[in-house]
Structure 1
Amino acid sequence: MTDRRSELASNLARVEERIAQACDRAGRAREEVTLVVVTKTHPAQDVRLLAELGVRHVAENRDQEAAAKAADCADADLTWHFVGQLQTNKVRSVLGYADVVQSVDRVRLVSALSKEAERRGREVDCLIQVALDAGTDERAGVEQTGERGGVAPAGVAALAEAVEAAASLRLRGLMTVAPLSGQYAGRQQEAFEALVEMSSRLRLEHPAANMVSAGMSGDLEQAVAAGATHVRVGTSVLGVRPRLR
């Protein structure tokens, strides 16, 4: 076993133990939480090693890096998630590899995703990214939410209807990143509980939208306690990210 493989195996084991313990404390089965490993800035060889170690879900947030990496790992049994802010001019490339788009945040993006998915003759799972620091605006832009993006809570229902009505898209749930400002700043579990509550309301109209993606390396325990179904973990599995050139 190579040093890097050993390192990844050890890191994965620690993360798995953290998730298992968090599930136990919350009275949940370990199977209720899916680990999505965020592989951004790490090489395709790491992704291959993760696949060999049993990882089945990986995520990227930059299309230029992700497209090449996914092509290199096309023969691996992986589900690819796109979790970054997505510009409409990148949709064609992203749908060349992404099985799940977790960062749907506006109707224009829904239209672009639907058109491209239909052109490819495939269906794409979509999560609505919620900006919990967006106040009451229906659409939260970059200027209002920093780099994290997302739609404001007040805009979730309308955006969900747009995804549900779009050809070749499947509404699967909600995603958030713990906000750095606003009422939930520094209160990750409360933020994630708010997302889970939104998810419960969403499922009254859209029963299949049962995914709740929340929590990363530093706050996965709070996300599991709140009821997240998917946690997105990068640094705790892969180590400190190399600098982008």
Structure 2
Amino acid sequence: MTSVGYDNEQGQDSGGDPRTAELAHRLGLVRQRMESAVHVAGRTDSPRLIVVTKFHPAADVRRLVALGVTDVGENRDQEAAAKSAELTHVDVKWHFIGQLQSNKAKSVAKYASSVQSIDRVAVVDALAKAIAREKDATGRSDLDCFIQVSLDDDAGAHRGGANPSDVEVLAGKIESAEGLRLAGLMAVAPLGADPNAAFEKLAGISQALCAVHPAATGISAGMSQDLEAAVKFGATHLRIGSDILGSRPAVG
């Protein structure tokens, strides 16, 4: 079995910084959960850890990178754009995971390695235009695109996402757009629902997608409270926030 793919932070010197020590401890616990979940699931691959840093300062991202984190996620463009601009020389990939308004596509194209919340054609069109402009200006790489699919009975009623019946239309639109790469699916387990049932459903939708688009193998699923269920049903990316960062900082 392969490891989760990140250097173990145990034994690293926090430099006397209590926050770094706290993050190291929390990160270690999450990585242990991931390793255990991979083992229980009988998998020979391991999901990629995306640490969700919303509401936490850029300084925490620096600390996390020093602890071996390579991927961070943000929900709001204004916050993500500011942090990424402050951390230009920090080697980390930014993943946009929140609901994206079409008018924010130009900004997101400047820093995002992936957008994991594509739920309508208008967003695909806006991202394609924005990425084309950014490629011309900076030569940036293609944008990984995850279709956010609703696992609620009433699509979009609680956690957002496209209806499963709309996935193929969105997939075709992404694949035909220059500069965009269809990476797979993203979903959030419905509130109050059994995450095992939700992620089993997601795995089935992913299987159907891959039958038509073989390269779209990504499944971004699982958060602090349900990462084990996500790993069990094939998640390739986990989005973990509070179990690593703790409570959001007080405002003011």
TM-score (norm 2): 0.89
4+ runs of 1 displaced by more than 4 Å?
none
Amino acid at match of 2:143: V
Give the drift of 1:244.
5.9
Q: Is 1:18 aligned to 2:29, yes or no?
A: no
Give me the whole-angstrom Cα distance separating, in 1, the residues matched to 2:219 and 2:97: 13
Give the drift of 1:218.
0.5
Residues 105 and 129 in structure 1, CA contact (< 8 A), matched pair in contact too: yes
* Structure 1 equivalent of residue 169 of structure 2: 158
Give me the whole-angstrom Cα distance separating, in 2, the residues matched to 1:205 and 1:244: 47
In structure 2, runs of 5+ residues without a counterpart are: 1-13
* Structure 1 equivalent of residue 146 of structure 2: 127
Moved more, 99-108 or 119-128: 119-128
Secondary structure, aligned partner of 1:80? strand
Give me the whole-angstrom Cα distance separating, in 2, the residues matched to 1:126 and 1:133: 21
Give me the whole-angstrom Cα distance separating, in 1, the residues matched to 2:196 and 2:61: 30
Give me the whole-angstrom Cα distance separating, in 2, the residues matched to 1:37 and 1:74: 18
Task: Tell me the C-alpha RMSD between the 2 structures.
Answer: 1.3
Amino acid at match of 1:28: R
* Structure 1 equivalent of residue 102 of structure 2: 88
Which string of whole-angstrom CA distances, capped at 9 and with x for unpartnered residues, describes residues 146-165 of structure 1?
3x321011111111111111
Residues 134 and 151 in structure 1, CA contact (< 8 A), matched pair in contact too: no
Give the drift of 1:134.
4.7
* Structure 2 equivalent of residue 115 of structure 1: 129
TM-score (norm 1): 0.91
Residues 128 and 175 in structure 1, CA contact (< 8 A), matched pair in contact too: yes
Secondary structure, aligned partner of 1:173? strand
* Structure 2 equivalent of residue 215 of structure 1: 222
Give me the whole-angstrom Cα distance separating, in 2, the residues matched to 1:24 and 1:173: 24
Secondary structure, aligned partner of 1:35? strand
Give the drift of 1:32.
2.2
* Structure 2 equivalent of residue 145 of structure 1: 157
* Structure 2 equivalent of residue 178 of structure 1: 189
Give me the whole-angstrom Cα distance separating, in 2, the residues matched to 1:152 and 1:134: 9
* Structure 2 equivalent of residue 191 of structure 1: 198
Give me the whole-angstrom Cα distance separating, in 2, the residues matched to 1:242 and 1:65: 14
Give me the whole-angstrom Cα distance separating, in 2, the residues matched to 1:220 and 1:234: 11
Secondary structure, aligned partner of 1:84? coil
Amino acid at match of 1:210: T
Which string of whole-angstrom CA distances, capped at 9 and with x for unpartnered residues, describes residues 104-126 of structure 1?
00001100000110111141110
Secondary structure, aligned partner of 1:93? helix
Q: Where is the helix percentage greater, Structure 1 or Structure 2?
A: 1
Secondary structure, aligned partner of 1:32? coil
Residues 134 and 152 in structure 1, CA contact (< 8 A), matched pair in contact too: no
Change (3 A) 1:69 1:15: same
Amino acid at match of 1:169: L
- Seq. identity, %: 52
* Structure 2 equivalent of residue 105 of structure 1: 119
* Structure 2 equivalent of residue 7 of structure 1: 22
In structure 1, runs of 5+ residues without a counterpart are: none
Give the drift of 1:243.
5.0
Number of aligned residue pairs: 232
